[in-house]
Amino acid sequence: MKIIIIGGSGTIGRSVSEHLSRKHRIIIAGRTSGDVTVDLVDSASIEAMFASTGPVDAVVCIAGEAKWAPFGDLTEEDYYIGIKSKLMGQVNLVRVGVSHISDGGSFTLTTGILADDPVEMTTSAAMVNGAIHSFVKAAALELTNGLRVNAVSSGLVKDAVDKYETYFPGHNPIPMDKVVNGYIRSIEGKDNGQIIRIYDN
């Protein structure tokens, strides 16, 4: 398969890219690096990315940001960071991507455990993750030509513990190979409209 991975150079993305590259042709997209650059917050940039890659068999997004801050400090503009990047960035990847993906292709989006088990400072990030879960379930009902869409929702990955551990007291970090398998399941399996949860509660 020809697979584009937005965020394919990131902490999770580079492991997923490395694994998938053993069997598939991988195109890495990122904001500042990769085979092609794209800014998820700009749907014209998403259009340009697909124009440069040509048709693909799978679209994987392991990118998107949201503002982390105490609830009392979050401004309206702060919420729009997550809405424009992680939420609408991924929605637009599917909305635009349906015209650039082969029949039977798949979209795999990324959310996270905060949708189900938020921690302090994540009102915006948790909200956005939950919205993506609802989007995936609803969009899957209407995709045509055998297209599929799923989200991988993992807990804090072991490789990111140094950065985020203090925000997740008592959470068991998830080994990267389990997270990678969530993406493999979505791309190579037949799931559609699924939230693939990789948690260790």
Ligand X SMILES: NC(=O)c1ccc[n+]([C@@H]2O[C@H](COP(=O)([O-])OP(=O)(O)OC[C@H]3O[C@@H](n4cnc5c(N)ncnc54)[C@H](OP(=O)(O)O)[C@@H]3O)[C@@H](O)[C@H]2O)c1
Position with the least CB separation from ligand X: 10
Selected binder of ligand X within 25, 33, 71, 145 (CB under 6 A): 33
**Helices and strands of the chain, counted as H and E runs:** 7, 7
Tell me: does residue 92 bind ligand X (CB under 6 A).
no
Q: Among residue numbers 167 through 186, which ones bind ligand X (CB under 6 A)?
A: none
Residue pair 60/4 in contact by the 8 Å Cβ criterion: yes
Considering only residues 31, 67, 100, 197, which one is a binding residue for ligand X as defined by CB under 6 A? 31
Eight-state DSSP code of residue 121: T
Helix %, strand %, coil % of the chain (to 5): 45, 20, 35
Q: Closer CB to ligand X, residue 100 or residue 103?
A: 100
Q: What angle do CA 84, 73, 88 make, to 5 degrees?
A: 10
Q: Does 64 bind ligand X (CB under 6 A)?
A: yes
H-helix or E-strand spanning residue 97: helix 88-97
Residue 187 binding ligand X, by CB under 6 A: no
Compute the distance between CA of residue 151 and CA of residue 196 in angstroms, rounded to an integer.
6
Lookup: tokens for 98: 């349906």
Choose between 44 and 104: whose C-beta lies nearer to ligand X: 44
Instruction: Select from 37-45, 47-55, 130-138, 187-195 the region that touches ligand X (CB under 6 A).
Output: 37-45
Residues near ligand X (CB under 6 A) = 6-7, 9-13, 30-33, 38-41, 62-65, 85-86, 89, 110, 112, 154, 156-157, 160
